[in-house]
Structure 1
Amino acid sequence: MGGLEVPTWDPETAILIGTILFEAIVLYVGYGGLERLVGPRLMKLLVGGGSDAR
């Protein structure tokens, strides 16, 4: 029967996939924190001064 075999993992491949996943998580968290710190100031600078414009 084709397609029912359990694939065997090469340890190097598993380490590579784990490293890429870890890097993606670190970048996601890092950019999220950076956006929270810099985002409001940057938007205020780009869009303009106050939020009282009616």
Structure 2
Amino acid sequence: MAGLEIPTWDPETALLIGAILVEAFVLYVGYAGLERLVGPALMRLLVGGDASAR
């Protein structure tokens, strides 16, 4: 039957998909940390006042 076959992946493809997922996770965590460190100061600079009071 068409469409019901189980795909076979070579190890290179699985490694590439794994590397992309790890990179996405690292970027997600990294940008979240950067936002926590720099975000309030940047908001005070751009908007003025205290960004945490909103």
Question: TM-score, normalised on structure 1?
Answer: 0.86
Structure 2: segments with no counterpart, 5+ residues: none
Structure 1: segments with no counterpart, 5+ residues: none
Whether 1:17 aligns to 2:17 is yes
Of all paired residues, the percent bearing the same amino acid is 78
Q: Over alpha carbons, which structure has the higher Rg?
A: 1
Question: TM-score, normalised on structure 2?
Answer: 0.86
Specify which structure has the bigger relative contact order, considering alpha-carbon pairs within 8 angstroms and separated by 6 or more residues: 2
CA distance in 1, matches of 2:29, 2:22: 11
Amino acid at match of 2:34: L
